[in-house]
Structure 1
């Protein structure tokens, strides 16, 4: 009887210990779970706050970028307008500059013509600076582009105004050169291609002559000779011109 009671007591103490152990395990599990929950919640809250802050920062940055983009678009539009204005202004300035250049070129050409005319009339009205009597004022020869070996000549004769009498006579024009290595002289009557075969002059102040002549293919011109034969027993006037110095390449047929 005594042994049975003793076994019962031992069993009862073991059951009590087991219950306390289970209780402590449960409590520890609850505490650990609560602690884990608290830590997880705190971490989640912290992450949520950080995410919210990052989102707000990105939203603010996007709004700022939107404003910057709007300002940049406005500036770009302004710059495009300025570029278009400057481009148009440049076109206008270039056109105006071109017009000015053309006008300047025309004025320079007119001025050159006027200077030539002034020099021409000075040779007539300033006898103290000119030789007396009839003389050659200008003689030039121009090659005709469309016709090989064909040339146009222009001759101007003048006399000072103090010689108020009409002067008359004849012009003898000839071309000296080489043909087959030999010296040869060609007279105007032999090489003229129009009616200007006999140049007769009769004027008071000045007279102009022009015509065309054609040289043989194997003839190399060296010089031109212009001889004035005034009437009234006056002495002949001879002028010699180097062909290379008087020839030009701008004549039209």
Structure 2
């Protein structure tokens, strides 16, 4: 207060108050200007952030489109792969069928390709009404022009899997009739049939057949055959 009185006395009250008013006005104007500058800065920063967000949204939309395209391409590739696998599987099945047909015609047209004209033509399997019980028939025939009576025995093995591991069983140990003998004796053809009961959990895949052939009580030879385990609808039995 003393300083203000001294200033009034020296410069006059009017001059002092005018100076204070001008100073206060300049201070307010400076504050207003600084406020406007800060507000403009905030506005620019906000616009920059909004622009950044828009760019990120555009990039996100573009990436989403590319991801959708890749998904569609992946689905198409998966379908194409499935189709290719199906075609390969079909080709393999056709090849197996052709090989079977070729083997059959070889037996008919060129019996010398078999063991002395003796042929194990088929091994058929049929499911029965009993649990794990199957009926089988083994078809044998003689292709020689001069047919003499053939005799012999059969050693049959079932090969498959059990509990995730490879497993095989001798068919004679699975016969429902344990007294049945796996032997043959015929001049033209014979069907050897019977019933077997599979062990629980055993999944058969192939049948291995080994036979010893005798004629006039002398061993004529051996024959080995392999068949796939394939179920048929009906079986019939006849021999001569």
Q: In which range does the TM-score fall when normalised by the shorter chain?
A: 0.5 to 0.7
Task: Tell me what 1:84 maps to.
Answer: 68
Check if 1:73 corresponds to 2:57: yes
Task: Tell me what 2:136 maps to.
Answer: 153
Report the CA distance between 1:33 and its aligned residue: 3.2
Between stretches 99-108 and 110-119, larger displacement belongs to 110-119
Task: Tell me what 1:118 maps to.
Answer: 102
Task: Tell me what 1:186 maps to.
Answer: 180
Counterpart-to-counterpart distance in 2, 1:81 and 1:201: 76
Q: 1:176 to 1:95 in 2, by over 3 A?
A: closer
Counterpart-to-counterpart distance in 2, 1:83 and 1:101: 26
Counterpart-to-counterpart distance in 2, 1:81 and 1:104: 34
Count of paired positions: 200
Q: 1:212 to 1:252 in 2, by over 3 A?
A: farther
The structure richer in helix per residue is: 1
Report the CA distance between 1:99 and its aligned residue: 1.7
Task: Tell me what 1:213 maps to.
Answer: 195
Q: 1:126 to 1:89 in 2, by over 3 A?
A: same
Task: Tell me what 2:29 maps to.
Answer: 45
Deviations 1:58-78 (A, max 9, x none): 222233333333333333322
| Larger Rg computed on CA atoms | 1
Task: Tell me what 1:108 maps to.
Answer: 92
Report the CA distance between 1:150 and its aligned residue: 2.3
Q: 1:70 to 1:110 in 2, by over 3 A?
A: same
Give me the TM-score of the superposition, normalised by structure 2: 0.56
